[in-house]
Amino acid sequence: MTGRLSDASLDRIPPGVARPGYDRAAIRTGIVHLGPGAFHRAHQAAYADALLETDPRWGICAVSLRSPDAADALNPQNGLYTLARLDAQTDFQIIGSIREVLVAPREPEAVLDRLAAPDTRLVTLTVTEKGYCLDADDRLDETHPDIVHDIENPRRPKSAIGHLVEGLRRRREAGLQPFTVLCCDNLSDNGIKLAAATAALARRTDPALADHIESGVAFPRSMVDSITPATDDALRARVREALGLEDAWPIQREAFTSWVIEDVPGADLPDFASVGATLTRDVAGHAAAKLRLLNGPHSALAYLGLAAGHETVAEAMADPMLAGFVEDLMTAEIRPSVMAPDGLDLDAYIAAVIKRFRNPAIAHQLAQIAWDGSQKLPIRLLDTARDNLKADRPVEGIAAAVAAWMRFIRRRSRDGIAITDPHAERLAAVGRACEDRANADVARFVTEAGVVPAALASDARFIAALERGYATVQAVEDGRADVDSLRAGAA
């Protein structure tokens, strides 16, 4: 091994590996990003890297709100990392858009200084659904421990939203224009929800600032898409081989990427459209299509695939019964609930998603997609069930997927395996109290897990479908039935 990836070793990288064509010393930090996980580095940071070839203003200061891991991995590499695109072809690219990674608990003032800096014009976020501290009605949860803290200590925020409020306050106090805020997480109407939550938090301590946020800060909505599995040792070894250098935290994703950003007046946005993003007024249509026709089936595959003993998305899709169930779910149950945005052919979209799921080069762990189900299921599957029931359309497949989530929680809590979810404690208690009897267990999840909304909890059709799905998934787990029986149920 001859050293580590850094500015100093860039010229030793083999010619087949793309690298920044711009002078990294000449770029400025125009973007602060909250939550520098794998998806940010696979997606927004790659768009910014392409933009820096023509516009030096859009370097990124990445801010971790909790863990020092990204900072400890990237700062010794001057922010550089390898992006591996794994598809029909594999290619590697060195991404140079991240200039520094700050760790908020370690250097709070440096983070707030960056948010208040004149060069900073855009704040992007990937803090996952749970990072917004929203309640079941998608409003700010003022009982969330971080929000309680930020109301009491607004100058020393802990939450992502608290950092937005304090950053905007400092800018206003200094007579600076506010930054634009761009949520890049899988939430429907993400910018609208984030704007409301940010103003709500500000109003608790500074009503004039809240008015300023409501009237003068742009929160465009956006839809983001690129399948990005967690980094694993196999990737580290491939990158070491390709670079001849050590990269402490390379990133892998599929070749496909999409970024649809709402075109709102007054938003101070980099020209991401010049590097492949789409600027449109109808971002909601694109977001609904993606959340319902990609993320919904993804979650269904995760819980049903795990029940059937599979480990990755591609492996689950290689199971003809599971693939058949997912295709039926997408075409028969979910597609009718989606209003196709301008120019989007939903049949072609579905076919493309299924091809992407089958990508043999991507080992996307079902257990990773299974994280945070309490946050994901309402947006990805339960909203669709609500719409289908109102329109007297079927919900059998959706119910089977939600039932598979219940069985996932039941199995993990029964076997003492940790559940990754902001409500893990409550869910584990429900799972432990289950008796492996469909009607009793479904009733317990519906009344105690805090995930199924009241309208669905009181709908006898949905409850009956959940009970059928729960019993069938249990039979699949025990080998007494195969996944096709779910499709039989869906028939």
- Give contact residues for ligand CS2 (rule: CB under 6 A): 186, 225-227, 295, 298, 368-369, 376
Closer CB to ligand CS2, residue 50 or residue 377?
377
Closer CB to ligand CS2, residue 75 or residue 257?
257
- Nearest-CB residue to ligand CS2? 298
As measured in angstroms, the least distance from the Cβ of 118 to ligand CS2 is 34
CA–CA distance from 55 to each of 227, 269, 271 (Å)? 27, 12, 9
Interatomic CA distance for residues 84 and 243, integer angstroms:
11
As measured in angstroms, the least distance from the Cβ of 436 to ligand CS2 is 27
Closer CB to ligand CS2, residue 369 or residue 403?
369
Interatomic CA distance for residues 331 and 410, integer angstroms:
29
Q: HEC profile for 54-73?
A: CCCCCEEEEEECCCCHHHHH
As measured in angstroms, the least distance from the Cβ of 342 to ligand CS2 is 21
As measured in angstroms, the least distance from the Cβ of 377 to ligand CS2 is 11
The H or E element that residue 278 is part of is strand 278-280
Residues 244 and 14 sit within 8 Å (Cβ to Cβ): yes
As measured in angstroms, the least distance from the Cβ of 290 to ligand CS2 is 7
Closer CB to ligand CS2, residue 20 or residue 378?
378
Closer CB to ligand CS2, residue 202 or residue 293?
293
As measured in angstroms, the least distance from the Cβ of 227 to ligand CS2 is 4
As measured in angstroms, the least distance from the Cβ of 365 to ligand CS2 is 9
Closer CB to ligand CS2, residue 331 or residue 368?
368
Closer CB to ligand CS2, residue 114 or residue 364?
364
Closer CB to ligand CS2, residue 39 or residue 470?
39
At 50, phi and psi to the nearest 5?
-65, -40
Question: How far is C-alpha 89 from the geometric centre of its chain's CA atoms?
Answer: 25
As measured in angstroms, the least distance from the Cβ of 13 to ligand CS2 is 28
Residues 39 and 225 sit within 8 Å (Cβ to Cβ): no
**Three-state SS at 469:** helix
As measured in angstroms, the least distance from the Cβ of 259 to ligand CS2 is 10
As measured in angstroms, the least distance from the Cβ of 193 to ligand CS2 is 17
CB burial of 342-378 (b: ≥16 within 10 Å; e: otherwise) equals eeeebeebbeebbebbebeebbbbbbebbbbbbbbbb
Interatomic CA distance for residues 49 and 44, integer angstroms:
9
Interatomic CA distance for residues 111 and 98, integer angstroms:
15
Closer CB to ligand CS2, residue 186 or residue 205?
186
Q: Which are the contacts of 237, defined by CB distance < 8 A and separation ≥ 6? A: none
Closer CB to ligand CS2, residue 359 or residue 413?
359
Q: Which are the contacts of 430, defined by CB distance < 8 A and separation ≥ 6? A: 409, 413, 444, 445, 448, 449
Interatomic CA distance for residues 262 and 180, integer angstroms:
12
Residues 462 and 399 sit within 8 Å (Cβ to Cβ): yes
HSE-up of residue 383 (Cα within 13 Å, Cβ side)? 21
From 201, 225, 244, 214, select the one nearest 298 (Cα to Cα): 225
Residues 253 and 42 sit within 8 Å (Cβ to Cβ): yes
Residues 92 and 2 sit within 8 Å (Cβ to Cβ): no
